[in-house]
Amino acid sequence: MPKITLASNNKTYEVPVGTKFLDFCQDNRTPHDFGCTVGSCGTCRLVLEVGADKVNPLTDEEQETLEMCTDVAGARLGCQLTVNGDIRVRQID
Ligand code: FES
């Protein structure tokens, strides 16, 4: 099973393949901030310190939101992520 590690609390959780990162965070009450939950506000932006190739590909809509809210290379939206392998996540300001 894939493992999600959160840089914010340095905890690791096992999840089934195909888990939505948003669902995982809500189910586990993790320290990761969300707003709209539909990919438009950018509150949930993060970087994958490990496993950028272990999540679903970036869509044009996600890219548009990211361009409006961060200039961090490789940033993703937590509410749009599907976890398919081991990842380490750090939320960005
Ligand atoms: S919570 Fe708004 S873009 Fe993810």
> Closest ligand 1 atom to the C-alpha of 80?
4
CATH number of the domain residue 73 falls in: 3.10.20.30
Q: How far apart are the first and last CA of the chain?
A: 29
Domain that holds residue 57: 3-91
> Closest ligand 1 atom to the C-alpha of 36?
2
Distance of alpha carbon 88 from alpha carbon 20, whole angstroms? 15
Q: In total, how many domains does the chain have?
A: 1
Place of tokens 């905890």: 11
CA neighbor of 8 nearest in space, from 35, 37, 28, 38: 28
| Residue 75: per-residue pLDDT | 98
The one-letter amino acid at 29: R
Whether residue 93 has pLDDT greater than 90 = no
Give nearest CA residue, ligand 1 atom 3: 39
Q: How confident is the model over 22-79, as pLDDT tens digits?
A: 999 999 999 899 999 999 999 999 999 999 999 999 999 999 999 999 999 999 999 9
Name all residues whose Cβ lies below 6 A of ligand 1. Answer: 34-37, 39-44, 65, 77-79
